[in-house]
Amino acid sequence: MPSPSATPESVRARLGELLATRSGRLLRGALVGAVAVLGCSVVLRQARATVHRMPAYRLGPTSVAFVDLPGIVDPTMKAHLVQGLPELWPTRPEAWPTTYDVGLERRLREVLGTHPMIRTVRDVEVRFPSEVRVRADLRTPLAQFRARFATSRGGLAVLQVPVDVEGVVLHPDTYAPFLAESYAVVVTGVEAVCPGLGRRWTDTKEQVAEGLAAARVSNRLNAELGVYGVPKVVAVDVSGFPATPKTRHRGEVVLRLSDGRFVQWGRTERNLGDVTHEDGYEVKRDRLRDLVEARGRDDRSVLDVRYPIRAPVAPRDL
């Protein structure tokens, strides 16, 4: 600290001597750098505030373009995909993100991931000045569930709704053309009330999960047994699931074939571990094929594939 008798000229002389040294030059460079950073931050902040006020750089629902969608996505699905975007954005355009926002791609992924039709956002590409190209995997129906919905008057309404592989309830209108061309197995017997469109459907008895597993089993059976003349599985009943050991003989998962016959399938392999002596998928599949071939179409008895087929015992000679 300069002494009280120090003059401005002496202070400037000493400061000059300090800046002439190596340490002084380093201090001067650091000071210039700090001032430059401060100036750039002020300019950047002002520029960002200006950009936020300019509509040309805001990213809204109309900025989003979905690219590389698979061929199964029909025009109706595409239209509903776009129509659902405004609900994901704030109502005030001033709150929309801009092209220059920090962490923009991550924020857009989070926003688009809440779309009820989108299962996974694979890639987000922001193009200047206000275009967002999105590659996403869409939800498609695995099965149709006959579901009970709570009404505003306290009652229950029964509707048939598509459900995807993760148990998310999809809008029937969105997937009507898709279901018309790609038939989905109908699942009945779920006791729990449906949570609503766009929500994941779970229940304490796991009937929804077992119904989805049974739908996958049905699709596999239809693909593997069609060449043998086995009628297609068109519906699944899970009202008997889960059964106690005493009531399991009544059946848990029941398949309905296109010719009206029923198949006692038992449980799917999703939950087969605690069931005694019940066979797995491959054995049941082959058993179903054998039963269909052995019995005529006029035989309307239930086809039970859960356990080995026992041949009739011939009476003993007396």
User: In the prediction, which pLDDT does 260 show?
Assistant: 94
pLDDT in tens, 14-44: 666 666 787 767 777 776 776 666 655 655 6
Instruction: Spell out a b/e string for 193-223, using b for 16 or more CB atoms within 10 Å of the CB, else e.
Output: ebbebeeebebeebbbbbbbbbbbbbbebbe
Q: Is the pLDDT of residue 83 over 70?
A: yes
| Strands 262-266, 253-257: pairing kind | antiparallel
pTM: 0.78
What is the mean pLDDT of the segment spanning 181-207? 95
Contact yes or no for 255/235 (Cβ under 8 A) = yes
User: In the prediction, which pLDDT does 238 show?
Assistant: 97
Contact yes or no for 118/78 (Cβ under 8 A) = no
Q: Residues of the chain with pLDDT > 70: what percent? A: 83
Contact yes or no for 208/179 (Cβ under 8 A) = no
User: In the prediction, which pLDDT does 318 show?
Assistant: 37
Whole-angstrom Cα distance, residue 252 to residue 28? Answer: 82
pLDDT in tens, 208-263: 999 999 999 999 999 999 999 999 999 999 999 998 888 888 889 999 999 999 99
Whole-angstrom Cα distance, residue 218 to residue 253? Answer: 11
Whole-angstrom Cα distance, residue 302 to residue 281? Answer: 18
Specify the residue for token string 């995997």: 137
Residue-averaged pLDDT of the chain: 86
Whole-angstrom Cα distance, residue 12 to residue 17? Answer: 9
Q: In the 3-class helix/strand/coil scheme, how is 245-304 assigned residue by residue? A: CCCHHHCCEEEEECCCCEEEEECCHHHCCCCCCCCCHHHHHHHHHHHHHHCCCCCCCCEE
Question: Rounded to 5 degrees, what angle do the CA atoms 95, 98, 102 make?
Answer: 105
| Strands 131-138, 233-237: pairing kind | unpaired
Contact yes or no for 117/124 (Cβ under 8 A) = no
Write down the H helix ranges in 53-144: 75-83, 104-112
User: In the prediction, which pLDDT does 14 show?
Assistant: 66
User: In the prediction, which pLDDT does 37 show?
Assistant: 64
Question: Could you tell me which residues are beta bridge partners of residue 253?
Answer: 266
Count of other CB atoms within 10 angstroms of residue 244:
6
What is the mean pLDDT of the segment spanning 114-126? 96
Q: Quick check: helix, strand or coil at residue 168?
A: strand
pLDDT in tens, 54-63: 677 899 999 9
First-to-last CA distance in the chain?
Answer: 128
Q: What is the chain's length?
A: 318
